């Protein structure tokens, strides 16, 4: 498959761009995700001309405004330089399907970045460049490398990147009402596993799509779909989707197979087995009893099996 363009903080790939000339190399990101993602490394502090090495900076509340200033020399204020960086990168940022940021960074931290007020830190800030991404690219999957250590958050982010990539392919091939409906049909069960009410709202939104309003509906659909997928899927919602899929087999399985499937889904509900177990059993039955809707649904295979993401949730 075509590699997927994903932005990343340069230090996470081993680039020596941090204030002390060091890096924060992350082996899982490069060695595992790098098999599927084409990483575009970027350091906003270097791009802003701060140099390597450089004085460390921090977020600081000064006269009710958040500024980026030197840790040792508060007179060093690089707020404006960093705020201008994002605008200059819009062209290549628009082509991305995801972004991985360095946690705790005053430029790249996505959340809980220390903000100092009278030398007392509070973990309630957002890095300047990260804030730009979140504000101007609301449909872009964004995550911090530290949170990728959580199996649920890792799967959530990677799933969103693959969905965003498929949307990009859809737009490149030419958007039509039929193509948009097909896209939604293939992602409907995924949306249901994240938020069933939002999934229904997506369907209602598309019911009014015509050739005249297609661009507006598609733009709104993407924003609402990505907002839905950002909500972490729950075990309960997965169980509901699994039971929904099971309904497509109700007239095709004998009593023993039905009972085995029921028990397997119940084991998942109780946390005894990971999601991959009931999904594997369902795939087995649908190989023998094909169904076009299920076969085309990305829920059964949301990302490459080699990533083993469904083995841990």
- Whose CA is closest to 261, among 270, 274, 245? 245
Q: Which residue has tokens 């982010």? A: 157
Q: CA-CA-CA-CA torsion for 200, 203, 208, 213, nearest 10 degrees?
A: 120
pLDDT of residue 1: 58
Q: What is the pLDDT of residues 8-30, one digit of tens each?
A: 999 999 999 999 999 999 999 99
Q: What is the pLDDT of residues 245-300, one digit of tens each?
A: 999 999 999 999 999 999 999 999 999 999 999 999 999 999 999 999 999 999 99
Q: Chunk the chain into consecutive blocks of 10 residues (it has 313) and report each block's average pLDDT, rounded to whole numbers.
A: 90 97 96 96 97 96 96 95 95 97 98 95 97 98 97 97 97 96 98 98 97 98 98 97 97 96 98 97 97 96 93 93
Find how far residue 151's CA is from the centre of its chain.
13
pLDDT of residue 250: 93
Contacts of 64 (CB under 8 A, 6+ apart): none
pLDDT of residue 113: 98
Q: How far apart are CA 142 and CA 164, in angstroms?
A: 11
For 128-150, give the DSSP string.
HHHHHHHHH-TTS-EEETGGGGS
Q: Which residue has tokens 């899929």? A: 245
The two counts, helices (H) then strands (E), for the chain are 13, 8
Spatial strand order in the sheet of 142-144: 37-42, 4-9, 99-101, 142-144
Q: How far apart are CA 49 and CA 105, in angstroms?
A: 17
Element spanning 116, H or E? strand 113-117
For 15-62, give the DSSP string.
---STTS-----HIIIIIGGGTEEEEEE-HHHHTT--SS---EEEEEE
Summarize the chain as % helix, strand, coil (round to 5): 55, 15, 30
pLDDT of residue 267: 98
Q: How far apart are CA 91 and CA 70, in angstroms?
A: 30
Contacts of 63 (CB under 8 A, 6+ apart): none
Q: How far apart are CA 21 and CA 43, in angstroms?
A: 13
């Amino acid at each position: 498959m075509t590699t997927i363009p994903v932005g990343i903080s340069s230090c996470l790939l081993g680039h020596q761009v941090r204030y002390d000339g060091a890096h924060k190399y992350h082996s899982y990101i490069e060695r595992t995700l790098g098999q599927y993602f084409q990483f575009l490394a970027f350091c906003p502090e270097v791009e802003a001309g701060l140099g390597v090495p450089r004085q460390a900076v921090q977020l600081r509340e000064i006269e009710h405004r958040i500024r980026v200033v030197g840790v040792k020399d508060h007179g060093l204020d690089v707020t404006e330089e960093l705020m201008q960086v994002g605008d200059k990168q819009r062209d290549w940022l628009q082509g991305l399907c995801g972004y991985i940021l360095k946690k705790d960074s005053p430029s790249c931290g996505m959340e809980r970045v220390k903000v100092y007020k009278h030398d007392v830190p509070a973990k309630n800030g957002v890095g300047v460049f990260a804030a730009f991404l979140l504000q101007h690219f609301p449909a872009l999957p964004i995550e911090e490398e530290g949170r990728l250590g959580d199996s649920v958050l890792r799967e959530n982010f990677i799933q969103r990147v693959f969905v965003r990539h498929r949307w990009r392919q859809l737009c490149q091939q030419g958007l039509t009402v039929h193509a948009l409906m097909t896209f939604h049909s293939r992602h409907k069960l995924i949306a249901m596993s994240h938020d069933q009410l939002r999934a229904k709202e997506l369907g209602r939104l598309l019911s009014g799509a015509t050739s005249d309003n297609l661009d507006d509906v598609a733009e709104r659909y993407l924003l609402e779909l990505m907002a839905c997928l950002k909500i972490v899927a729950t075990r309960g919602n997965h169980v509901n989707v699994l039971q929904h899929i099971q309904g497509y087999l109700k007239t095709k399985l004998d009593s023993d197979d039905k009972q085995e499937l029921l028990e397997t889904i119940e084991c998942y509900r109780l946390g005894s087995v990971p999601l991959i177990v009931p999904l594997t059993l369902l795939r087995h039955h649908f190989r023998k009893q094909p169904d076009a809707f299920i076969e085309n649904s990305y829920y059964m295979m949301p990302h490459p099996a080699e990533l083993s993401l469904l083995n841990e949730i």
